[in-house]
Amino acid sequence: MIVLEHVNKVYDNGFHALKDINLEFKEGEITVLIGPSGCGKSTTMKLINALNTPSSGKVLIDGKNISGLNPVELRRNIGYVIQSVGLFPHMNISKNVGVVPRLKKWDKGKTDQTVNELLDMVGLDHTVYGTRYPSELSGGQQQRVGVARALAADPDIILMDEPFSALDPISREQLQDELIRLQQDLHKTIIFVTHDMDEAIKIADTIILMKDGEVVQTGKPDTILRHPANDFVRNFIGSKRLENENENIYEIPLVDEVMITNPVTSFPSRGLAEAIKMMEMKRVDSLLIVDRNKQLQGAVSIYRVLDQYGEEGKTVADVMHPVRYSVASGSTLPQAIEIMDSHQLSNLPVIDSNNRFLGLITRGSVVKHLAEVYPTMVPPLLNGEDE
Amino acid sequence: MNAFWSFITERYPDILKALQEHLVLSFSAVILGTIIAVPIGILLVYSRVGWINSIVFFIANLFQTIPSLALLAILIPLLGIGMKPAILALLLYSLMPILRNTYDGFHSVDEGVLNSARGMGYSTAQTILRIQLPLSLPYIMSGIRITTVYIISWATLASLIGAGGLGQLIVSGLGVNKPEMIFIGGIGAILLALVADGLLGLLEGWLSRRYHQTRDAAI
């Protein structure tokens, strides 16, 4: 177990980076440190392998104050993964993974065996990748090697500093899944720094949320989501969620995307016979009446027209009924469906801010839109190699 | 042309001796220069005092600007004449390019590589020897190569303070008005420089491939 007691960090220029930090990192758990940039999450993590030393306070690993330990020795017993991966370009993949065992002077046979096992474990066949060089691997593969390297000397503690942030979304997902899978077998004490709330929720056993060098809230992901301690936490969860929403394929469609843009319309001056002809041709049972300025005047149904058909000289303007419901451009589809549902409408015109007619939402158009969107709503399959 | 060939056939032991002296002069200067400049370069990379770096680079630059003839002449009252002062003078010239390239080579090593080395428990000495030095070898080698070519050409002047070498042929040739002697000395120095440049170039290329896998071999 790792314990931070009253840790403060003040830099020479007077910047108070960490303010009285008291934390506990439980053994065999993934603890995620999260917060906006500059909140001190990385600084906090680096206290544990003495890349950073506290100005005051104690860092205890299994009850031992690490200030009494040789930092180089300490680091060899703690795995370390960073965002830029930092593989050594002049060593092949096997050599890279075997770095810490060699520093610890393991014998060659044991080192080689461990390296091969680890490469296979992170999904890189050691017979294929062992002799390659880092520049020959994709970003995702490099970070797999980075993870294998951190595990090489079988440390109890692994520090991960935004390890997946620089990867493309697919590789990132894969590596997160992989980490969760590995952790089920390995039960390491993992301290994971990120600024991505989705990542934190996905992998964390415990989340520590930080801001301006202070711990704002600590708890299980579910607890933090359900009971955010204050507005900052709420915003941090919320804003992050919204940000992701924008690039999300599940976003709520707008009426503009769903509407039919060329519904059957008619000018108000048309005669009734013409109207019937038109409805016949286009196989519809009603017409929207739109004037030359694209203003929506009303609608006529085929029953109304047939009813008045005997009176020659009448135009559709005389028999049309006003359109009572419409929806503004930019509204969401659920809003439109709500209106259609509560007023038993078979269709709903979309108009812009100048009252001009833009298109028509019909039940058919909604179904058609869903049919187009549905295939992409199935999460992409995640079994391909990230090359 | 006849005089040229007959000179070579008659005097080839002298020519070989001059060539040998020239090689000894140039390479001892470069090797000693490397032994001095590389560690100083590394110290400068790790020095936290900015002005020390400025001063060292200033002094190394200064050596480059002293005219070689003047430098050789200055060394006579201090060290007398012969090989020793000549090697010292050439060594002073070799410092700057090697120093600069060592310094730049170390700075070219990716920050992420250094961070991960430190975080995994490399001591400073291990980082230097196993990470930074191998990765900057191509740079250092290129500094050595540039220096070698210069030094071989400047070493012809060393004969003026009695250090011998191919310069001796040129100086003697001037004295006895024998153009073929001057030619042999000059061409010999040029060929030597070209051969050294070629061989060191090959070595540099090999080191780049061996230690700096930056070429995009990815699929």
Residue A73, chain B, CB below 8 Å: the answer is yes
Q: Smallest Cβ distance to B121: which of A75, A85, A138?
A: A75
Q: Residues of A299-327 as b/e, b for ≥16 C-beta within 10 angstroms?
A: bbbeebbeeeeeeeeebbbebbeebeebb
- Classify residue A286: in a domain, yes or no: yes
Whether residue A288 is found in the same domain as residue A368: yes
Whether residue A204 is found in the same domain as residue A296: no
- For A167, list phi and psi in degrees, rounded to 5: -90, 160
Q: For A80-102, what is the mean pLDDT?
A: 93
- Classify residue A378: in a domain, yes or no: no
The rounded distance, in Å, linking the Cα atoms of B15 and B166 is: 8
- Classify residue A383: in a domain, yes or no: no
pLDDT at A212 over 50: yes
- Classify residue A171: in a domain, yes or no: yes
Fold designation for B2-211: MetI-like fold (1.10.3720)
The pLDDT-based confidence of A70 (bands split at 50, 70, 90) is very high
- Classify residue A381: in a domain, yes or no: no
- Classify residue A102: in a domain, yes or no: yes
pLDDT, residue A381, reads 53
**C-alpha distances out from residue A209 to A6, A28, A229, Å:** 17, 20, 10
pLDDT, residue A379, reads 52
pLDDT at B218 over 80: no
Question: Which tokens go with A282?
Answer: 């286009």
Closest CA relative to residue B142, chosen from B188, B51, B208: B208
Using the beta-carbon criterion (under 8 Å), do B110 and A86 form an inter-chain contact?
yes
pLDDT, residue B103, reads 93
**C-alpha distances out from residue A3 to A24, A102, B196, B206, Å:** 5, 30, 61, 50
Q: Smallest Cβ distance to B131: which of A72, A88, A146?
A: A88
Say whether B178 sits in a helix, a strand or coil: coil
* Number of residues that this document lists for chain B: 219
pLDDT digits (tens, 9 = 90+) for A249-301: 456 778 888 888 888 888 888 888 888 888 888 888 888 888 888 888 888 88
The rounded distance, in Å, linking the Cα atoms of A115 and A126 is: 8
Q: For B97-104, what is the mean pLDDT?
A: 93
The rounded distance, in Å, linking the Cα atoms of A350 and A353 is: 10
pLDDT at B216 over 70: no
Give me the percent of chain B exceeding a pLDDT of 70: 95
pLDDT, residue A247, reads 47
Residue of A nearest to B212 (CA): A90
Q: For A43-52, what is the mean pLDDT?
A: 93
Whether residue A240 is found in the same domain as residue A285: no
Instruction: Looking at the complex, report in whole angstroms how far the Cα of residue B130 sits from the nearest Cα belonging to chain A.
Output: 10
Say whether A10 sits in a helix, a strand or coil: strand
The pLDDT-based confidence of A386 (bands split at 50, 70, 90) is very low
Orientation of helix B68-79 relative to helix B83-107, angle to 10°? 120
Using the beta-carbon criterion (under 8 Å), do A89 and B131 form an inter-chain contact?
no
CATH value at residue A74: 3.40.50.300
Using the beta-carbon criterion (under 8 Å), do B121 and A73 form an inter-chain contact?
yes
Q: Which residue did the predictor score with more confidence, A5 or A324?
A: A5
Using the beta-carbon criterion (under 8 Å), do B115 and A86 form an inter-chain contact?
yes
pLDDT at B6 over 90: no
Using the beta-carbon criterion (under 8 Å), do A76 and B118 form an inter-chain contact?
no
pLDDT at B217 over 50: no
Whether residue A233 is found in the same domain as residue A276: no
Write down the mean pLDDT value for chain B. Answer: 87
Whether residue A159 is found in the same domain as residue A240: yes
Q: For A38-56, what is the mean pLDDT?
A: 92
pLDDT, residue A47, reads 94
Whether residue A118 is found in the same domain as residue A185: yes
pLDDT at B18 over 70: yes
Residue of A nearest to B218 (CA): A136
Spell out which residues of chain A touch residue B128, defining contact as CB-CB under 8 Å.
none
Residue A84, chain B, CB below 8 Å: the answer is yes
| Amino acid letter, A268 | P
Question: Which of A83, A99, A385 is the best substitution to test chain B (most B C-beta atoms within 10 A)?
Answer: A99
pLDDT at A240 over 70: no
pLDDT at A239 over 70: no
Q: Smallest Cβ distance to B122: which of A51, A103, A149?
A: A103
CB pairs under 8 A between A and B: 81
The pLDDT-based confidence of A224 (bands split at 50, 70, 90) is confident
Residues 6+ apart with CB under 8 A from A93: A87, A119, A124, A129, A130, A131, A132, A133, A134, A137, A145
Residue A265, beta-bridge partner list: A288
Whether residue A38 is found in the same domain as residue A185: yes
Whether residue A34 is found in the same domain as residue A115: yes
pLDDT digits (tens, 9 = 90+) for A185-205: 899 999 999 998 889 988 999
The residue behind tokens 């590589």 is: B113
Domain coordinates of chain B in residue numbers?
2-211
Using the beta-carbon criterion (under 8 Å), do A84 and B217 form an inter-chain contact?
no
- Neighbouring CB atoms inside 10 A of A230's CB total 11
Domain extent for A335: 255-373
Residue of B nearest to A136 (CA): B218
Q: Of A190, A216, A246, at which residue does a domain stop? A: A246
The pLDDT-based confidence of A236 (bands split at 50, 70, 90) is confident
pLDDT, residue B219, reads 31
Spell out which residues of chain B touch residue A49, defining contact as CB-CB under 8 Å.
119
pLDDT at A164 over 90: yes
Which of A329-343, B82-96, B111-125, B185-199 is least confident? A329-343
pLDDT at B75 over 90: no
Spell out which residues of chain B touch residue A97, defining contact as CB-CB under 8 Å.
none
pLDDT, residue A248, reads 45
pLDDT, residue A29, reads 94
pLDDT digits (tens, 9 = 90+) for A360-385: 888 888 887 777 766 555 555 555 44
**Structurally, how many domains does chain A consist of?**
2
Q: Of A246, A265, A288, at which residue does a domain stop? A: A246
Write down the mean pLDDT value for chain A. Answer: 86
Residue of A nearest to B209 (CA): A90
pLDDT at A241 over 70: no
Asked if residues B68 and B89 have their Cβ atoms less than 8 Å apart, the reply is yes
pLDDT at A78 over 50: yes
Whether residue A99 is found in the same domain as residue A192: yes
Whether residue A161 is found in the same domain as residue A46: yes
Closest CA relative to residue B91, chosen from B144, B164, B21: B144
Q: For B183-189, what is the mean pLDDT?
A: 89
CATH value at residue A315: 3.10.580.10
Whether residue A86 is found in the same domain as residue A190: yes
Residue A49, chain B, CB below 8 Å: the answer is yes
Using the beta-carbon criterion (under 8 Å), do B213 and A85 form an inter-chain contact?
no
Q: For B134-148, what is the mean pLDDT?
A: 92
Whether residue A280 is found in the same domain as residue A182: no
